[in-house]
Amino acid sequence: MEFKHKPVLLEETINGLNIKKNGIYVDGTLGGAGHSKEILKQLSSEGLLIGIDRDQEALKAAGENLQEFSNVKYVHGNHDEIEEIFQQLGIEEVDGILLDLGVSSYQLDERERGFSYLGNNELDMRMDKSQSLTAKEIVNTYSEENLANIIYEYGEERFSRQIAKNVCEYRKNKKIETTAKLVQIIEKSIPAFAKKEGHPAKRTFQAIRIEVNDEIRPLYNTVKSCIKHLKSGGRLCIITFHSLEDRTVKNAYAEAQGKCICPKDLPYCVCGAKSEGKIINKKPIIATEEEQNENSRSKSAKLRIFEKS
């Protein structure tokens, strides 16, 4: 399948990066390279783009999409390991970093990878196929309490406890191997009135995908590492699609701007809060009505921008 991924908030992100022609820029979630292509168009031959993705197929597709450009370095890795990646590349500071978080439309559409609740495929959901943890392992080995907590926290699913209970009840007799079987269990767990709110499995599948790929836990430190490696005046643009992601980015930006994080009952500041820069947009930038109509994925997208001092 061709790796198609319509870049969300493209113009807003490119403007937010405030690109310098001879700068070094990092796309930590390269995907189909939609954002990266626009960055490269604004760079001179002296500029450099570093494209990082944990999905080998994404890197291959990006290479084909960007074949007209020679000033690109491709890295198979996770943006959460950006500290190690910079060390390996021998790079201290860059002019801008972009993170477009979440799953790509290509990964959702490629049913055999098990991201989608449509069809009947093996439970997988790995962005990086070289990792061992899969959705199948989570669904079949996590405790009922752990499953319920993940579905509630990452999926914001109010029927998480019933879903987890029914999953654990079913797997006592038979392993849950496919997306269709998991969907069937979820559908039986949700009351009829709640099924009018969209596909009943959407939130649970999102939650399991986030757990498989550990998308939220490392994010706060990743944001701080990105800011650390920006040059003065360099910018970090992060697009989120989940309330937990957005909150994490917002809090990390606030701390980097110099917000005191001491307990409120302390009479004075002891955390030594120092400012590393400024938040460019107090409120997140969202897609225009036109973009939301053209690309449904953009409806939940939020862009936050930080500039290093």
Class of domain 112-212: mainly alpha
For the stretch 125-166, pLDDT in tens is 999 989 999 999 999 999 999 999 999 999 999 999 999 999
What is the C-alpha separation between 307 and 20, in angstroms, rounded? 14
Inter-residue contact 12 to 288 (CB < 8 Å):
no
Tell me, what amino acid is at 280?
Answer: I
Residues of the chain with CATH 1.10.150.170: 112-212
For the stretch 177-218, pLDDT in tens is 999 999 999 999 999 888 777 899 999 999 999 999 999 999
Q: Kind of pairing, strands 72-76 and 94-100? A: unpaired
CATH number of 10-102+216-308: 3.40.50.150
| Mean confidence (pLDDT) of the chain | 93
Residues of the chain with CATH 3.40.50.150: 10-102+216-308
For the stretch 17-40, pLDDT in tens is 999 999 999 999 999 899 999 999
Pick from 257, 270, 247, 246: which is nearest to 224 by CA?
257
Inter-residue contact 281 to 254 (CB < 8 Å):
no
For the stretch 231-245, pLDDT in tens is 999 999 999 999 999
For the stretch 289-300, pLDDT in tens is 999 999 988 999
pTM score: 0.90
